Amino acid sequence: MVRVIYNERFALLTDYPFERLRALLEGITPPPSPPVVMSIGEPQHPPPPFVRDLLDASSALWGRYPPMNGTPEFRVAATDWLTRRFALPAGFLDPDRHVLPVAGTREALYLIAHLVVPRRKGSARPTVLIPNPFYQVYVGAAVMAGAEPVYVPSGRQSGFLPDFTLFDPKILQRTPYDPDTLNRTALAFLCTPANPQGSVADLEYLKQAITLARRYDFVLAVDECYSEIYDSIPPPGVLHACADLGGDLTNVVVFHSLSKRSSVPGLRSGFVAGDPDIIAAFARLRAYGGAATPLPVMAAATALWQDEVHVAENRTLYRAKMTAAERLLGGRFGLCRPAGTFFLWLKVGDGEATARALFQKAGIRVLPGAYLARPDSTGVNPGRHYIRVALVHDLDTTVWALERLRDILG
C-alpha cells in the first residue's frame, strides 16, 4: 500500500487549542439552552452596514483575480490609518513599499517564519522567540519553518510581556537557556495588546525590543491585531517606536487586522507593514503560497480603514462589558481590567476542570489557559491555573455568562 510521507515537522504540531477543547468537552451534556461560545476571539458585534453595501456594489469584481498586493486605494488607506493612529511623520511610510495586504493576519504570522528563518544561523539551528503564553500560530510557524521555538516567560514580573531581559548575558548564565540563544534567533514574535493577558507594551519596551532585534539581527514580528480594542489609552505601536529611534524600519514588521477592530473576522482582511525589504520578499513568497484578497473585500476593507466611528462604538461596547466583569468578578480570580483586548485571563485553579464545569453546568465554553502556553524551564505550564474568556457577545449575554461563571466557581 502506498502511504503518504509527511514532513517530519508536522508531527511536532500539537492539536490546535480549539481541537483540544473539543476533546476535553467530549461526552459532557450541557444544559439544553444554546451554548455560549467564549472560547474563541470571534467578535459578534455587528459590523458597520456600509460593509454589506460595498460588497454588494462591487459584486462585479468577483469575476476578477485580485492582485497580490491589493489595490492602490487599500494601500493608501492602510498607510494613512497607520500615520494617523500612530502619529507617524508625514511621508514616513510609502504605500507601495511599506504595506502589503494579507488575507487575515493568521496566515501572515504563519508565513513570516517561512520567509525569515534560514536553515542555519551562523552554524547553528535557528530559534524563534515566542511569548509564553502565546497566540498558537506563532508556535506552528516556528515549528514548520524548522526553527527551535524558545518560549519566553511573560508573567507578572515582566508586566505579562516577554521578558527579553532574561537574555542579558549576565542573567542568561543563571538560566537553562542556551547562552547562544540570541545569536541563533531568526525571528521574535511579540503581541501587544497581548492575547491572552491583555497587557500592552509601552514605547520604551518596544524600542528595547527593536534594538535587540537589530543587535542580534533577527526579525521582530509585532502582532498588533488588538491595537484598537483598548480600555482608556491607545496602545503605542512599533512603527511609532521606529520613528522615535530615527525612522529606520530595518528588521521590523507589524501585523494589523480588521477582524477585531471592525468585528469582521469573516472578511479575512489585514495587512503587514514595515521593513521594505521584508515586505518585498513577503510579496514574492505570497505570490506562491498566499491568498490574494478578493477585490470586493478590498473595497470594503479600504472603507473600514478610513472610518473610525464604528471603531469607537466598538470600543464602547467592550468597555461596558469590562465594567460589568469588574462589577461581577472584581477582586476575584486575579482579575485586573486589561489595558487591551476583549479577553479575561482568570486565575481559577485548574483551568481544564473549570472549562469542563462551566460547559456542563451552564453551556459556557472557555479555553483552558494551558492550551495557550508551554511548560517553562521548570516544567510548569504558566497557563495551567487560568481560563481565557472572550467577551465577544452582546452585553446581556456577557452579563448572564459572567454571573453564571461567578456562581459556578463559587
User: Among 135, 218, 230, 371, which residue interacts with ligand PLP (rule: CB under 6 A)?
Assistant: 135
Choice between 243 and 373, CB closer to ligand PLP: 373
Rounded to a whole number of angstroms, the minimum distance from the CB of residue 109 to ligand PLP is 6
Give which of 179, 232, 235 is closest to 205, Cα–Cα.
Answer: 235
Parallel, antiparallel, or unpaired for β 36-37 and 364-365? parallel
- 321 part of the interface to ligand PLP, by CB under 6 A: no
Instruction: Kindly give, in sequence order, each residue whose CB lies less than 8 Å from that of residue 207, ignoring residues fewer than 6 positions away.
Output: 241, 244, 245
The Cα 157–Cα 292 span in angstroms is 41
User: Among 199, 259, 293, 354, which residue interacts with ligand PLP (rule: CB under 6 A)?
Assistant: 259
- 345 part of the interface to ligand PLP, by CB under 6 A: no
- 17 part of the interface to ligand PLP, by CB under 6 A: no
Q: Quick one: which segment of 48-56, 100-108, 283-291, 354-362 binds ligand PLP (CB under 6 A)? A: 100-108
- 104 part of the interface to ligand PLP, by CB under 6 A: yes
Rounded to a whole number of angstroms, the minimum distance from the CB of residue 269 to ligand PLP is 8
Choice between 101 and 146, CB closer to ligand PLP: 101
Number of H helices, E strands in the chain: 16, 12
Parallel, antiparallel, or unpaired for β 343-347 and 252-257? unpaired
- 270 part of the interface to ligand PLP, by CB under 6 A: yes
- Supply the DSSP symbol for 124: B
Q: Is 364 helix (H, G, I), strand (E, B) or coil?
A: strand
User: Among 75, 85, 106, 310, which residue interacts with ligand PLP (rule: CB under 6 A)?
Assistant: 106
User: Among 39, 79, 154, 195, which residue interacts with ligand PLP (rule: CB under 6 A)?
Assistant: 195
Burial 128-144 (b: 16+ CB within 10 A, else e): bbbbbbbbbbbbbbbbb
- 257 part of the interface to ligand PLP, by CB under 6 A: yes
Choice between 68 and 245, CB closer to ligand PLP: 68
Please, which residues bridge with residue 270 across strands? 102, 257
- 136 part of the interface to ligand PLP, by CB under 6 A: no
Choice between 130 and 370, CB closer to ligand PLP: 130
Rounded to a whole number of angstroms, the minimum distance from the CB of residue 70 to ligand PLP is 15
**Alpha-helix residue ranges (DSSP H) falling in 222-365:** 238-244, 258-261, 276-289, 295-306, 309-329, 351-362
User: Among 24, 36, 41, 382, which residue interacts with ligand PLP (rule: CB under 6 A)?
Assistant: 41
The Cα 396–Cα 258 span in angstroms is 25
Chain center to CA of 160: 14
Choice between 181 and 262, CB closer to ligand PLP: 262
How many residues would you count in the chain?
Answer: 410
- 293 part of the interface to ligand PLP, by CB under 6 A: no
Rounded to a whole number of angstroms, the minimum distance from the CB of residue 102 to ligand PLP is 8
Distances (CA, A) of 315 to 45, 226, 232, 354: 10, 11, 10, 29
User: Judged by CB under 6 A, how many residues of this single chain contact ligand PLP?
Assistant: 14
Q: Quick one: which segment of 99-107, 181-189, 231-239, 293-301 binds ligand PLP (CB under 6 A)? A: 99-107
Q: Quick one: which segment of 28-36, 102-110, 151-159, 362-370 binds ligand PLP (CB under 6 A)? A: 102-110
The Cα 346–Cα 401 span in angstroms is 14
Q: Could you list the residues that contact ligand PLP (CB under 6 A)? A: 41, 104-106, 109, 135, 191, 195, 223, 225, 257, 259, 265, 270
